[in-house]
């Protein structure tokens, strides 16, 4: 039987990218073949994101296109995976009858069975084609975490990073799923459910196997990655092995780490010490509270842990932070940043900001501007507030900042961030930094920031030379000429020293000092 061609498109965050990589590995092992265009596929899968309306609209328009193909008589099977599947639930099937399979982010291990049922028979029942966490309450999450079949998906990942279509030298490893924070604007606690922590042995083992497959950079993933905490010796095991575990209440972070607990700091230390082949260990996203000095100490003591923090402030106004239920004040955020730079003077800091949250006045916005001016953010992803069904904010606070004002604030803040980035980047000029080379490019291509993405566009007036680009441990982008007489392929995936010669808001320009 020939392989079934499948097209998989991913929307949204790094967590979704990892989910897609695992889905891909799972389907490859079952004999599916991945294609680059949806028109070539018999199975089209969209791994969706619900964090902002924009991401949802994009996915809906793709779903519409597949609907047209089906209406024209083509035999295509359409699966919607991820947060939109979970959020819309069966309503999506009613509104978009072209959708054959629905699979929430917590059920992806069941995807092959769903596809199988839908492919075998048009008459497959809804129960055979839909897997959602749905009405599972947060209390039953404890039991579910232990029986967690999703853990097997993480555990069984394909250890051939080439086959997964990603750069061979970098990989992501999930340590925590879900979120307990309930920021009022955010759908994640509803779509991804309660915080569940993976057993540290599983995580270390996964890192080791990735390293054996040639990976030298691992990014640990969690929505609030520093909430990682695993209590050993509990009765809840599967086949004698430790099982995933729901997180403790937030008050746990105000007490010292007990014996028999693997805290986030201890987990970092373990991976660093037990898998020395990982030359760069990083983690996202940090929640700026509950970030103890123990983590900073480990970062200071372990040379292969990157001194890079992505710790979203979201706003600089205490009033808005309160409405967002972020759980800290501006002064507390500033104190957190000060502590980071006291421990790690060469750290880099990045974040996220939402503009136009309900009720945000000019004064509130100015408070955010002053935060972005005064703290050394290397970059901030800036988002316009998007009311999300099911969240507290959409119910309680009318979306009263006109879109025009949101857009204006977004642009103003981008300009302020650009100055801050320039200032932060300038401090690196003259220093020699280790750069992990990611790819080659033409020096005639110049970067430009569009929304949250950095794009490289050709400039007709610039000289065309082959160049290399990569990142420092602090996630700063460095561009440099390809050393004469060498091939780019020989450098990609290697860490080389580079002298930083100049800097702009978007990147550092360097020279390789050892060719």
The residue ranges that bind ligand 5AD (CB under 6 A) are 51-52, 185-186, 312, 314, 352, 354, 383, 385-386, 388
Residue labelled with tokens 């309160």: 322
Q: Does 179 bind ligand SF4 (CB under 6 A)?
A: yes
Contact (CB, 8 A) for 196 and 154: no
- Cβ 392 vs Cβ 365: under 8 Å: no
Least distance (Å) between residue 371 CB and ligand SF4: 17
Should residue 186 be labelled a site residue for ligand SF4 when binding is judged by CB under 6 A?
yes
Residue 287 interaction partner, one of ligand SF4, ligand 5AD, none, beta carbon < 5-8 Å per kind? ligand SF4
Report which of 271, 316, 317 is spatially closest to residue 298, judged by C-alpha positions: 271
Cis peptide before 285 (omega within 30 of 0): yes
Q: Which of these ranges, 2-10, 29-37, 141-149, 184-192, lies near ligand SF4 under the rule CB under 6 A? A: 184-192
- Structure token pair of residue 170: 């970098």
* Among ligand 5AD, ligand SF4, none, residue 189 binds (CB under 5-8 Å by kind): ligand SF4
Nearest approach, Cβ of residue 50 and ligand 5AD (Å)? 9
- What count of Cα atoms within 13 Å lies in the side-chain half-sphere of residue 434? 12
DSSP string, 318-333: HHHHHHTT-S--HHHH
Closest separation in Å from C-beta 350 to ligand SF4? 15
Shortest distance, CB of residue 386 to ligand 5AD, whole angstroms?
4
Token pair for 484: 């004469």
Stretch that binds ligand SF4, among 78-86, 177-185, 251-259, 394-402 (CB under 6 A): 177-185
Q: Is 177 in the site for ligand SF4 (CB under 6 A)?
A: no
Q: Under rule CB under 6 A, which residues in 242-281 are in contact with ligand SF4?
A: none
The residue written with tokens 């995976």 in the block is 81
- Residue (of 491, 401, 398) closest to 438 by Cα position: 491
* Among 512, 504, 300, residue whose Cα is nearest residue 420: 504
How many chain residues bind ligand SF4 (CB under 6 A)? 10
Q: Alpha carbon of 311 to those of 54, 318, 339: distances in Å?
A: 23, 17, 13
Q: What is the smallest separation between the CB atom of 326 and ligand SF4, expressed in angstroms?
A: 7
- Check: CB of residue 309 under 8 Å from CB of residue 242: no
Residue 181 in the binding site for ligand SF4 (CB under 6 A): yes
The verdict on 182 binding ligand SF4 (CB under 6 A) reads yes
| Nearest distance from C-beta of residue 162 to ligand SF4, angstroms | 31
String of contacts with ligand SF4 for each residue 285-324, x by CB under 6 A = --x-------------------------------------
Phi, psi of 254 (to 5 degrees): -95, -5
Smallest separation (angstroms) from ligand SF4 to the CB of 119: 34
The yes or no reply on residue 355 touching ligand SF4 (CB under 6 A) is no
Q: At its nearest, how many Å lie between ligand 5AD and the CB of residue 254?
A: 23
For residue 424, the SS3 value is helix
Q: Which residue is nearest to ligand 5AD (CB)?
A: 352
| Nearest distance, CB of residue 186 and ligand 5AD, angstroms | 4
CA pair distance 119, 444, nearest whole angstrom: 48
CB of 63 to ligand 5AD, least distance (A): 21
Give the distance from CA 72 to its chain's centroid. 37
| Candidate list 98, 223, 315, 443; residue touching ligand SF4; CB under 6 A | 223
179 binds, among ligand 5AD, ligand SF4, none (CB under 5 to 8 A by kind): ligand SF4
- 224 lies in the binding site for ligand SF4 (CB under 6 A): yes
Where does residue 367 fall: left (phi above 0), alpha (psi -120 to 50 degrees), or beta otherwise? alpha
| CA–centroid distance for 86 within its chain | 18
The residue (of 188 and 369) whose beta carbon lies closer to ligand SF4 is 188
Q: Which option in ligand 5AD, ligand SF4, none does residue 388 bind, with CB closer than 5 to 8 A by kind? A: ligand 5AD
Contacts of 351 (CB under 8 A, 6+ apart): 310, 311, 312, 313, 314, 377, 380, 381
Q: Helices then strands (H, E): number in the chain?
A: 17, 26
Q: Give the span between the Cα atoms of 305 and 39, in whole angstroms.
A: 43
Chain residues in the site for ligand SF4 (CB under 6 A):
179, 181-183, 186, 188-189, 223-224, 287
């Amino acid at each position: 039987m020939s392989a079934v061609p499948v097209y998989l498109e991913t929307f949204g965050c790094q967590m979704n990218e990892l989910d897609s990589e695992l889905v891909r590995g799972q389907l490859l092992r079952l004999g599916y073949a991945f294609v680059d265009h949806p028109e070539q596929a018999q199975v089209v899968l969209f791994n969706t994101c619900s964090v902002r309306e924009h991401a949802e609209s994009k996915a809906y328009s793709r779903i519409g296109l597949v609907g047209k193909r089906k209406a024209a008589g083509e035999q295509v099977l359409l699966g919607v995976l991820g947060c939109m599947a979970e959020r819309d639930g069966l309503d999506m099937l009613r509104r978009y009858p072209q959708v054959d399979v629905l699979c929430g982010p917590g059920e992806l291990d069941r995807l092959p069975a769903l596809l199988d049922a839908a492919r075998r028979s048009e008459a497959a029942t809804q129960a055979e084609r839909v897997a959602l966490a749905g009405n599972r309450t947060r209390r039953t999450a404890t039991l579910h975490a232990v029986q967690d079949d999703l853990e097997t998906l993480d555990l069984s990942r394909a250890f051939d990073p080439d086959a997964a279509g990603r750069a061979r030298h970098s990989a992501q490893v999930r340590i925590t799923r879900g979120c307990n924070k309930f920021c009022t604007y955010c759908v994640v606690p509803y779509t991804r459910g309660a915080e569940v922590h993976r057993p540290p042995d599983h995580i270390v083992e996964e890192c080791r196997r990735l390293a054996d497959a040639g990976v030298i950079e691992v990014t640990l993933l969690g929505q609030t990655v520093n909430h990682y905490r695993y209590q050993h010796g509990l009765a809840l095991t599967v086949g004698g092995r430790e099982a995933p575990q729901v997180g403790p209440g937030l008050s746990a972070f105000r007490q010292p780490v007990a014996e028999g607990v693997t805290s986030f700091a201890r987990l970092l230390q373990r991976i660093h010490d037990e898998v020395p082949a990982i030359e760069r260990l990083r983690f996202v996203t940090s929640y700026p509270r509950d970030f103890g000095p123990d983590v900073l100490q480990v970062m200071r003591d372990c040379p292969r842990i990157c001194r890079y923090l992505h710790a979203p402030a979201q706003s600089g106004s205490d009033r808005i932070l309160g409405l967002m239920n972020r759980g800290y004040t501006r002064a507390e955020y500033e104190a957190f940043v000060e502590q980071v730079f006291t421990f790690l003077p060469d750290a880099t800091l990045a974040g996220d900001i939402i503009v136009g949250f309900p009720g945000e006045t000019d004064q509130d916005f100015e408070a955010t501007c002053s935060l972005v001016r005064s703290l050394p953010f290397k970059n901030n992803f800036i988002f316009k507030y998007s009311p999300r069904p099911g969240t507290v904010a959409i119910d309680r606070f009318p979306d009263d900042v006109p879109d025009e004002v949101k857009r204006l604030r977004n642009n103003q803040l981008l300009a302020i961030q650009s100055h801050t980035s320039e200032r932060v980047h300038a401090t690196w000029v003259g220093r020699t930094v280790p750069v992990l080379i990611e790819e080659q490019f033409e020096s005639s291509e110049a970067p430009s920031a569009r929304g949250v993405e950095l794009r490289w566009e050709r400039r007709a007036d610039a000289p065309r030379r082959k160049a290399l680009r990569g990142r420092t441990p602090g996630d700063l982008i460095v561009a440099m000429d390809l050393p004469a007489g060498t091939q780019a392929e020989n450098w990609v995936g290697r860490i080389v020293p580079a002298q930083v010669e100049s800097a702009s808001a978007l990147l550092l320009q360097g020279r390789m000092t050892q060719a």
